[in-house]
Structures are given as structure tokens and as C-alpha cells.
Amino acid sequence: MTHSTTAPGAPVPAEQQEREAEITRKVLESFDGCTDPRLRQVMQALVRHLHAFVREVRLTEQEWNKGIEFLTRTGHITDERRQEFILLSDVLGASMQTVAVNNEAYGEATEATVFGPFFLENSPEIEPGGDIAFGAEGEPCWVEGTVTDIAGTPVPGARIEVWEADEDGFYDTQYGDDRMAARGHVFTDSDGRYSFWGLTPTSYPIPHDGPVGKLLEAVGRSPMRAPHLHFMVSSPGLRTLVTHIFVRGDEFLDSDTVFGVKESLVKDFEAQPAGTPTPNGRDLGDRAWSRVRFDIVLAPDGT
Ligand code: BEZ
Ligand code: FE
């Protein structure tokens, strides 16, 4: 018998195919005794897809080693402040695919997008029309809208968490001190309305000084995210919505590195020249500002 390695794309001899399929069968069978049916289903599907991948690309042993080294580096850079595995999931679109699977379209409910790593519990509460900046630099942006259910009924008392990067593209958590800035939460009023001052969003790169950044560089992809403002909206009896709004016209809308952009979430941030009166009488001196409207529709819980 002659021995050789089938090149990627070349036909795999029938006898070799059978040998490879036999390995997959044995591994799948090894989970048959798992008494948790969901765990069995997930593990068997994982094995099927993983083996199919190895066979399809005819993975070399050097490539297998490189993969293991990559995952090892990903683990080593991960700690309580930095989660490189989530970043990897994000740039592979696995996070957005999971969001899609778990937030099926429901009537006119607002679409969800990726959560990202920069949310913090215990953000400050902001009065209606208050400012979330807390010293973060950036152009002021008036944000207003309503929260309704899919029947159009206003949702009073909905909790709206918002967070964003400053004009240099950094979240407060990235400064390595204890500051809390450019984040907060507001509640809708009795008519389901909300408003606050944020910052006009700017684009920023995801953390790209680690293995995920190297991967993006190797494949010629940009680490940039399209400018956005994060929202998490919750109210009892309604599906919690995690989403962002994006700035219409931005250059990175079509190449957002974590695939988070959805057309329905792209909004007009209207530029307001310095001196334009503000909606709540805030005196901005000689600063320009912007304004955006985001009406939020929540699906019922359990949908
Ligand atoms: C973010 O939007 O904050 C984000 C999302 C995914 C990866 C990195 C950052
Ligand atoms: Fe973000």
C-alpha cells in the first residue's frame, strides 16, 4: 500500500475517507452514555463540525500546533479585565450569530446586537435630560426616544443602561483607574419617554495588542468598530434588549470588525452648530452638539 497526504481540494481516496469517518463515528459514540441530553447534543454536534473542518482543510500537524499555540496565548492574556476569548468569538462572528439565534425577530421589536466587554454594573442613575459624561471628553449629544411594547403601548419605568467610548475611543474601564464616565442609567417616564446627554460616538479599535489583533492583521482585517452608543433596556415582562445605535454615514459601517451593524440601528445624529438652543436649556457655550432619536420597541419576555 502506498502512503501519501491528500492535498486540500483534491479528491480523498474512498478507503482514506472511510478511515477518517470511522474516527468521527467512534468519538460521537463516546458521548452516547451522557445522561444530559442537551450536553450530548452540543458535544456531538461540536465533534461533527470540528472533524468536518479538519478533514475539509486537510489540517496539517504544523497548523494544528499553531492553533494550539494561538489558543494558549489567548488564554494567557485573559484575566478579570481582559477577555480575549470573547474578542475571538466577536471577530469570528460567533457572538453575533448567538445574538441572532437568541433574539429572533418579533413584530417590530428593536433588533439586538453584540454586548461587548465594557458594560459595568452599578452605573450612576441619571435624571431625565441629565448628562452621562462625568468628565469624559467628546461632543455633547442629546439622545431621546420612547420605549413601547410591540402593541405600541408606552413602557413607564423601563431601565435604560447606556455606555460608550470617549472621543479618543476609550471606555472608562480602559484607563486603568477607578473612573466611571460616559455611562449611566435612566428610567422612562409615565409616557415611556426618556432623554439624556451623551457624547457623539466615535469609531475605535477593539483591543488589538494580543493574539486576536495579530490574527486580524494576518488576514488583512481592520480592528475598527463603527461608532456606536450601547443600550441595555429592561422592564418586567419584556425581553431585555441589548443593542447599540450607529452613526449614519460613518466609514466603518460596512466593515465593523465584530459584525454588529444592522441597518435598523443606524440613526441620524444631526449636527447642531454652536449656539443652537438645546432641548432642555443646557448652556453649552461655544460648543457644537448633536442630537439623535431612538424609539425602542421591546418584545414580550420568553419570545
Ligand atoms: C464594544 O462595542 O464595546 C465591543 C464589542 C465587541 C468587542 C470589543 C468591543
Ligand atoms: Fe462599544
Q: What is the 3-state secondary structure (H, E, C) of 120-187?
A: CCCCCECCCCCECCCCCCCCEEEEEEEEEECCCCECCCCEEEEECCCCCCCCHHHHCCCCCCCEEEEE
pLDDT at 285 over 70: yes
CA of 17 to the centre of ligand 1 (A): 41
Closest ligand, as measured to the CA of 257: 1
- CA 202 to each of CA 137, 207, 252, 254: distance values in angstroms, whole numbers, following the listed order: 11, 15, 10, 15
Residue 116 Cβ inside 6 Å of ligand 1? The answer reads yes
The residue among 68, 62, 59, 182 whose CA lies nearest residue 119 is 182
Residue 118 Cβ inside 6 Å of ligand 1? The answer reads yes
CA distance 199 to 167: 8
CA distance 51 to 74: 22
CA distance 244 to 230: 4
pLDDT tens track for 17-55? 999 999 999 999 999 999 999 999 999 999 999 999 999
In percent, the amount of the chain with pLDDT more than 70 equals 99
**What is the 8-class DSSP label of residue 300?**
B
Residues 6+ apart with CB under 8 A from 112: 99, 102, 103, 241, 242, 243
Alpha helices in the chain (DSSP H): 14-29, 37-57, 61-77, 84-91, 94-102, 211-218
> Residue 29 has what pLDDT?
98
- CA 115 to each of CA 48, 83, 203, 229: distance values in angstroms, whole numbers, following the listed order: 29, 13, 16, 11
Residues in the chain: 303
Residue nearest atom 5 in ligand 1 by C-alpha distance: 116
Place 5 in a pLDDT band, splitting at 50, 70 and 90.
confident
Residue 114 Cβ inside 6 Å of ligand 1? The answer reads yes
pLDDT at 2 over 70: no
Residue 87 Cβ inside 6 Å of ligand 1? The answer reads yes
pLDDT at 98 over 80: yes
* Average pLDDT over every residue of 78-86: 89
* Average pLDDT over every residue of 182-200: 98
> Taking the mean position of all CA atoms in its chain, how far away is CA 264?
16
Across the beta sheet with 241-247, the strand order is 183-187, 159-163, 228-234, 241-247, 266-267
pLDDT at 182 over 70: yes
Which atom of ligand 1 lies closest to the CA of 115?
5
The residue among 147, 191, 142, 112 whose CA lies nearest residue 296 is 147
Which atom of ligand 1 lies closest to the CA of 118?
3
CA of 117 to the centre of ligand 1 (A): 6
* Average pLDDT over every residue of 178-185: 95
pLDDT at 4 over 70: no
Which atom of ligand 1 lies closest to the CA of 244?
2
Closest ligand, as measured to the CA of 201: 2
Residue nearest atom 3 in ligand 1 by C-alpha distance: 116
> Residue 63 has what pLDDT?
98
Residue 291 Cβ inside 6 Å of ligand 1? The answer reads no
pLDDT tens track for 208-228? 999 999 999 999 999 999 999
Ligand 1 probe mutation, 119, 258, 262, 265, most atoms within 8 A of CB: 258
The dihedrals phi and psi of 251, each to the nearest 5 degrees, come to: -70, -20
Residue nearest atom 7 in ligand 1 by C-alpha distance: 116
CA distance 5 to 95: 35
The dihedrals phi and psi of 264, each to the nearest 5 degrees, come to: -65, -15
For the domain 106-298, what is the CATH code? Answer: 2.60.130.10
> Residue 178 has what pLDDT?
87
Residue 117 Cβ inside 6 Å of ligand 1? The answer reads yes
- CA 231 to each of CA 65, 160, 163, 237, 294: distance values in angstroms, whole numbers, following the listed order: 40, 7, 7, 18, 10
Residue nearest atom 2 in ligand 1 by C-alpha distance: 116
Which residue do the cell numbers 462625568 mark? 134
pLDDT tens track for 121-167? 999 999 999 999 999 999 999 999 999 999 999 999 999 999 999 99
Which residue do the cell numbers 450607529 mark? 246
Residue 119 Cβ inside 6 Å of ligand 1? The answer reads no
- Burial of 256 by CB count in 10 Å (0-12 exposed, 13-18 middle, 19+ buried)? buried
Ligand 1 probe mutation, 95, 115, 206, 253, most atoms within 8 A of CB: 206
> Residue 176 has what pLDDT?
86
Average pLDDT, the chain: 96
Residue 205 Cβ inside 6 Å of ligand 1? The answer reads no
